[in-house]
Amino acid sequence: MIRFDVVTLFDGYFEPLRTQGVCRRAFDSGVVQLRTWNPRDHARGAHRTVDDRPYGGGPGMVMLAQPLHAALCAAQAARVAAGLEPAPVLLFSPAGRALRQAAVQELAASCGAVLVCGRYEGVDQRFIDLHVDEEISLGDFVLSGGEIPAMALIDAVARLQPGVLNDALSAQQDSFSDGLLDCPHYTRPPRFQDREVPPVLMGGDHARIARWRRDRMLELSWRRRPELVRELERQGRLDRADLRLLAELRGEARDDAGAAAAAGTSSGP
Ligand code: 9D3
């Protein structure tokens, strides 16, 4: 069982997780639990204010520390009342470290976390200093708040829980679990709009199929995400056939990329 407590001004975002797809199955079976906490329910005054203008001036609004603090304390108290420890507090923020599968896997093996969703220009720094263990971003693009990143994390964790995916192997064999992008996939029919399935996949030679898939993973990763290939190389996780294909690909790049690559000053495409 893994439990997420989400501190958010927009709890409605999280409803679809409970009623759709893989996450729904995880919630229905109880392996993932989700509870939302709205800072507005802990805000003071007739207007239940949750934000204010930034000291020092500037655009936008800043989330008040007090309603966030009260919502977070309520969430942690509820965890303790349910017999759990208080959980690590993760803040979704554009200034966080980008989420990666290694962190998803770590979280999937834990009792969960409190996820705090930022809105507006940001969150009063004193709340962050007091409570936040880690700041997480979804990547270098601008969203309107942390709710969608929080949903992305919950989805990524839920599908790793035992019994949630139809096929346990597909969770295990994921891209990123093995550090490479996935190979192309094909299904029926054998011919579509004059395009055929690669013959090796129709041949039934499982060793050849495995090698073809591995080669396509390496080739795609090397073309699109050369840093992934370099990381596996550094970790010594490439076999001799992998290294032979890479040497071929690098030879090709010399033709395309010209003198710099030929001089050995470039290791990517
Ligand atoms: C000019 C400074 N902006 C930072 C890029 C202000 C700002 C924009 C958007 C501050 C907060 C937000 C709202 N975004 C999030 O809360 C957020 C986010 C994101 O925008 N991109 C990727 N990951 C995340 S996690 C939370």
Ligand 1 neighbour 93 (Cβ under 6 A): yes
Q: Please give the distance, rounded to the nearest whole angstrom, from the Cα atom of residue 75 to the centre of ligand 1.
A: 24
Question: What pTM does this model have?
Answer: 0.92
**HSE of 61 in the Cβ direction (CA atoms, 13 Å)?**
12
Ligand 1, residue 60: give the atom nearest the CA: 6
Ligand 1 neighbour 139 (Cβ under 6 A): yes
Confidence of residue 266 (pLDDT cuts 50, 70, 90): low
Q: Please give the distance, rounded to the nearest whole angstrom, from the Cα atom of residue 119 to the centre of ligand 1.
A: 8
Q: Looking at the chain, how many residues does it have? A: 269
122-151 burial, b at 16+ Cβ within 10 Å, e below that, comes to bbbeebbeebbeebbbbeeeeeebbbebbb
Confidence of residue 165 (pLDDT cuts 50, 70, 90): confident
| Nearest alpha-carbon partner for 88 in 67, 102, 103 | 103
Q: Are 119 and 144 in contact (CB under 8 A)?
A: yes
Q: Please give the distance, rounded to the nearest whole angstrom, from the Cα atom of residue 94 to the centre of ligand 1.
A: 4
For a ligand 1 pocket test, name from 61, 120, 142 the mutation site with the most ligand atoms within 8 angstroms of its C-beta. 142
**HSE of 10 in the Cβ direction (CA atoms, 13 Å)?**
13
- Please tell me the predicted confidence (pLDDT) of residue 259: 45
Active site residues: 94, 121, 159, 174
Average pLDDT over residues 26-37: 96
Structure tokens at 165: 């995916």
Above 70 in pLDDT, residue 140?
A: yes
Q: Sign of the C-alpha dihedral, residues 11, 17, 23, 26?
A: positive
Sequence-separated (6 or more) residues with CB below 8 Å from residue 29: 163, 164
SS3 category, 61 = coil
Largest CA distance in the chain: 72
Structural domains in the chain, sorted by start: 2-158 (3.40.1280.10), 191-262 (1.10.1270.20)
Ligand 1 neighbour 30 (Cβ under 6 A): no
For a ligand 1 pocket test, name from 6, 100, 143 the mutation site with the most ligand atoms within 8 angstroms of its C-beta. 143
How do strand 2-7 and strand 112-117 relate by DSSP bridges?
A: parallel
Ligand 1 neighbour 118 (Cβ under 6 A): yes
- Please tell me the predicted confidence (pLDDT) of residue 261: 45
Ligand 1 neighbour 143 (Cβ under 6 A): yes
Work out the burial of residue 113: count CB atoms within 10 Å of its CB; fewer than 13 is exposed, 13-18 middle, 19 or more buried: buried
Which string of DSSP letters, residue by residue, matches 90-149?
Answer: EEEEEEEEEP-HHHHHHHHTSSEEEEEE-BTTEE-HHHHHHH-SEEEES-SS--SBSHHH
What confidence tens digit (pLDDT) does each residue in 36-69 have? Answer: 999 999 999 999 999 999 999 999 999 999 999 9
What confidence tens digit (pLDDT) does each residue in 203-222 have? Answer: 999 999 999 999 999 999 99
